[in-house]
Amino acid sequence: MASTPLDRLRALCLALPETTERASHGEPSWFVRDKKQFVMLSDHHHDDRFGFWCAALPGVQESLVEADPHHYFRPPYVGGRGWVGVYLDVAVDWDDIADLVEDAYRAVAPKRLVAALDQQE
């Protein structure tokens, strides 16, 4: 696996079907079919922390933040839409990060792409 947290996050995102990367608001971000954003890096952009924000299904943000505020937070701007923030400047479980990234993808991807992902597994 890649060496830096950004490299690892990038590899997880780009492994998903029809995912592209481009800067959004000055940060590396990942999109499904270059349209729907599902993950965005947050490199000290809004505070002094390093992490990422990702789409999440209803209720996920609240449960993660309540259970483990050391690792998860409600990000500005997109937090009201249920996105969850994940700190990468603490020890993280990359299997958990992979699950969050895949869930974020599933939250925004068209059904055909989700079905293609299911066939890969």
Question: Domains in the chain: how many in total?
Answer: 1
pLDDT in tens, 41-70: 998 766 788 999 999 999 999 999 999 999
In this prediction, residue 10 carries a pLDDT of 97
CB-hemisphere CA count at 13 Å for 4? Answer: 7
Task: Tell me if 117 is assigned to some domain.
Answer: no
Task: Tell me if 104 is assigned to some domain.
Answer: yes
The contacts of residue 84 (CB under 8 Å, 6+ apart) are 53, 54, 56, 60, 61, 64, 65, 72, 73, 74, 75, 100
Q: What is the pTM of this model?
A: 0.92
Structure-token match 């995102």, residue found: 13
pLDDT in tens, 64-98: 999 999 999 999 989 999 999 999 999 999 999 99
Residue 42: closest CA among 19, 64, 26, 55: 26
Task: Tell me if 121 is assigned to some domain.
Answer: no
Q: Which domain holds residue 31?
A: 5-112
> What would the two tokens of residue 39 be?
């993950």
What's 21's domain CATH number? 3.90.1150.30
36 — phi, psi (to 5°)? -100, 115
